[in-house]
Amino acid sequence: MNKVTDPMESPSDSSDVDAFTDGGLLPTLVRASAGTGKTYRLTARLLRILLQGASPETILATTFTRKAAGEILDRVLLTLARAADPDDPEALQSLRDQVGIATLPRSVCLQLIDTLLRNIHRLRICTMDSLFSQLARSFPFELGLPPAWRLTDEIEEAWLRERAVDSVISMLDRSEMTAVLSMLGKGDIKRSVARELLQVVDAAYSGQRLCNDDVWKQLKAPKLPESADVTRAAGIMRMAEPPQKRLRTKLDQFAEKLELRDFGSLVDDTLVANIGAARRSRTEVLYYRSPFPEGVDEAFDVVYAAAKSTVLALMNAQNEATATVIAAYDHHIGQLKHTARAVGFEDVAIRLAAEFSRLDQKSLALRMDGAVDHLLLDEFQDTSPVQWHVLRPFAARCAAPVDESAGKDAQREVPKSFFCVGDTKQAIYGWRGGVAEIFEAVADQISGITEVEQNQSFRSSPVVVEAVNDTFKNLQRHPICDAANSGDLTDKSMYEAVAVRDFAVRFPTHSTARMELPGHVRLETARQIEDGDASQRQLACFEDAARIAAEINAANPERSIGILTRTNRGVAQLIFMLEQMEVSVSQEGGNPLTDSAAVEMILSALMMAEHPGDGRWAFHVSSTPMAAIPGFGSDFVRSMCEDRGVAETVEFLAGTLAPLCDVRETLRLKQLVQLALGYEMNPAPRLRDFVRMVREKRVERPQAAAVRVMTVHQSKGLEFDAVILAELDGPLTRARTSCVPDIERAGDPPKGLSRYLGSKSWHYLPATWQRAFGMQAEGSMTEAMCLLYVAMTRARQSLRMVIQPPKKTAFENRTPSSLIYHALGCKEDPTQGETVLFESGDPAWMGEPSEPVAEKNPMEAPIAIKFRCD
C-alpha cells in the first residue's frame, strides 16, 4: 500500500502503513474459550494483515458455517466503514486498539474499504466446503473429476448411497450374499439385507477411504488349541475335586462344552473373564471369590485360548466381509456419481488430500490465481484429518520463517502469516470426522508457533461463569472417576474415567468482563413420575422447560431464550408444547415442510400421480380444494408434471390452496415452490424422489422468534439471555456402531480398522487393539463433556437445568445430570420431585435485555414467488 495522507489528520500522523505497524505477525495458535471474543480476535488479525498492505487475494480465512463466514466479512467491512467516518472518532480509536496500531490514520481505513469493495470477490473468507470446491475446480483433471461436475447435498448423497447398496446386492449371487451377511452379523443373518449393508457403509466407508487395502486385516486371530489339548483339559476338569459344589458344577459345565467343542458358549462366561483377569494380574482364578483346586490352571488356559480364538476369528471374518462390502460399494458409488457427474464434499476433500501431497507451491499458486500468503483458520478443533492434509501445505508455507542466511532479495519476499483459533472444549463434531487432537498437534507440526490462551468471557454474567467453573473443575467428585487409576486396559470405564478426570484437570478458570451483569443459575427436578417409563419422565422435564420459557417470555418478550436438547425428537416435542401454550417459537436449522397441512396435501397429489392404484393418496386429496379443479386426478397431475415440470405443477397446486391458508401455511407453500424450483435443476426420474426430498430436507422459517428450540449441536456459535437445558438424563455416551481405527498419530490415516466389539470382550483383544478401542471410548466421553460445556456456555444471564428425579439418593448415574449434581456439591435429596437442588444469583435477573433483538431479521425478506392458478 502506498503512502497516504488524510486531510482530517495532522501531518505527523500520515505515514506509510509499514511505518506505523509494530513488527511482523508471528504464527499464532489461540485457545479461545466460549464467549471470549474468538471472532473479534480473528477479525483483528485479518484487519491488521490488510492494513499492512496485503492484497485481498493473498488472504485465506476458513470457518465451518456460512453464517460464521458472513459474520467475519460483515465485521471487517463495518469496522472499516465506521472507522473511516469522520463523525465517529470513537470507532477509529476502537479499531486502533483492536489491531494494535496506535497511529492508524482514518485515510488508510477509507482507502482500504474502497479497495475491498472493489475486490470483494478476491477476498476469500469462506467455509471449508466452499474452499475445497474452489480448489477442486482449479484441479479437475488431476482429481479425475467428470466434465461439468456438480456437488451433491446430503439428501442426494443418501439416495446415491441406497442405489449403490442395491447394486451391490444385485451383483452378488445368493450364496455369496448369504456368506457375506453371515460374516457381517457374526453368524446371524439379518432380516433386512439392504439395511444391514447400509449400516456397514455408514459405519466403515469414510474411515477406510484414505487407508491401504489391507487395513481390515490387521487384527489377527490365534489358532484354536489342538484337539488333543482340548480333550485333555476336559479330562482334568472332570477329575478335579473342588471343595464346593458350585465349583464342581462349573467345572463339569466347562468340561462338557470342551468335549462338544462348543467354544462359542464360553465367550461371555463370567469365569472365562475371571481367568483373563487373573492372568493379567498374575493372581489366582476365583469364582464367587472361591479358589479352585490346584492342577486345573492348565485346563483354564486351554478354555481361555479357545474362547479368545473364537471371538477374534469371528471379528476377523466380520472385518473381511466388511472389506468385501466396502470395496464393492466403492466401485458402484463411484460409477453412479460419475454417470450423474455428481461429487460429494467428502469425495472432493479426499481427492484433494491425495493430490496435494504431490503438488508444489508454484503450481498451486498458479492454479489458484495467486499464492496464499496469509492463512487464518477458525474453529480448528472441528477439522478432520482429510481437511488438515489439504490445509497443511498452506499452513507450512505461511508459517515458514524468513531464511536469515538467504540473500537480500530472498529476505524482501512478501510477508506471510499463520493464525489458528479454536477450543478443544467445544469439539462436538467427532461424529462427522472432526478430530480435536489435530488442534493440539499443530504446535508440533508447524514450527515457531506462538500459543495464546483467552479465558475471559465477554458474554456471560459472573454467576453463569462461576457455575461453569464449579461444574467442570469439580467433575472428579462423581464416582465415575474412581476407575481412572485402575490401570486395566481392558476396562472401558477406566478410559471414560480418565477422559472426565483429564477434562477437569485441563479446564482453565474462566473469568468475565461483564461483572455488572446480573445472572441466575438453577438446577431443579421435574415432577415425580412414579410408574412411568423413561419417555414419560422426560416429558415432565420438557413440560417444565416450556413453562419456564413461557414465563420468561411473558415477563420480557424481548429476551432471547434458547431451549437446548440432545435429540431432534426433543426439539419437536418442545415446539409442540410451546405452540400449545401460544408462545411464538422457532427452530434453529428448520423443520421439513411436512409440518404444514397444505404442503402435505400437495405431496399427496404428487404421490397419487406416481401411484394411481394406491387409494390412500386419492382419499386424502379428495377432501381438499384441489378436488374441485375440473378434470383433477392422477392423470391430470401426471400430465401437468410431464408438460410443465414439477415446479410449475407445485406452484399451480399451491395457488389453489393459498387463498384458504393463514400466513404460516402460505409461507410454507412458498418455500415448497422454492424447493421445486431448485429440484428441477437436477431432477430425478420419479415424483416420489421429490416427495422424499421435501419430507427430509429441513427448511427454516424466515423469522426467528425470541424463543428458539434446537439441539446443542445446532446452538454452536449462538448465545441467549436465558438458556434452558431439559434433556440431561440420557447416557453420557451412546452405543458405538462405527468402526474402530488404530491410529499412531493424530491426523494420520489409520494403520488398521476393525468393527466394534462389546466392552465385556475387550480382554480377548491384543494390547494394541485394547488401546485403540479404549481411545475411542475416551474420545466419546470427552465429546460428551464438550457437549455439556457448549450447552452451559450459551447463556448470558440465566441458566436453568431441569432433570428427572433419580431412583436412588446416591445419584451415581452415568448421565450429565448426575455429573452436574455432584460437581456443584448439591446437598438436597435428588429423588424428590419439583425440588431446587442448586441455585445461585438473582432470580429477578431480568431488566433491560443485554443485547436487544434487532428490529428486522435479514431472513424476513419477502419471498419473490407469485402463485399462478391459470
- Crossing angle of helices 385-399 and 128-138, rounded to 10°: 80
Comparing CA positions, the residue from 790, 736, 837 lying closest to residue 566 is: 790
Which residues lie below 8 Å from residue 449, measured CB to CB, with a gap of 6+? Answer: 26, 27, 28, 29, 399, 418, 420, 442, 443
Binding residues for ATP: 32-39
Q: What angle do CA 305, 310, 313 make, to 5 degrees?
A: 115
Binding residues: 32-39
Distance CA 127, CA 713 (A): 17
Percent helix, percent strand, percent coil in the chain, to nearest 5: 55, 10, 35
Name the burial class of residue 518, with classes exposed (0-12), middle (13-18) and buried (19+) by CB atoms within 10 angstroms of its CB. Answer: middle
Comparing CA positions, the residue from 869, 373, 842 lying closest to residue 656 is: 869
Distance CA 32, CA 228 (A): 64
User: Which three cell numbers mark 830?
Assistant: 435428588
- Crossing angle of helices 345-356 and 385-399, rounded to 10°: 50
Torsion over CA of 432, 436, 439 and 445, rounded to 10 degrees?
Answer: -90
Distance CA 409, CA 472 (A): 53
Neighbour tally for 253: CB within 10 Å: 15
Three-state DSSP state, 655:
helix
Please give the backbone phi and psi of residue 574, each rounded to the nearest 5 degrees, phi first: -70, -40
- Find the length of the chain: 870
What would the DSSP string read from start to end of 526-588?
----SS--HHHHHHHHHHHHHHHHHHHHHH-TTS-EEEEESSHHHHHHHHHHHHHTT--EEET
Torsion over CA of 632, 634, 640 and 642, rounded to 10 degrees?
Answer: -170
Torsion over CA of 189, 190, 195 and 198, rounded to 10 degrees?
Answer: -40
Three-state DSSP state, 591:
strand
User: Which three cell numbers mark 400?
Assistant: 515458514
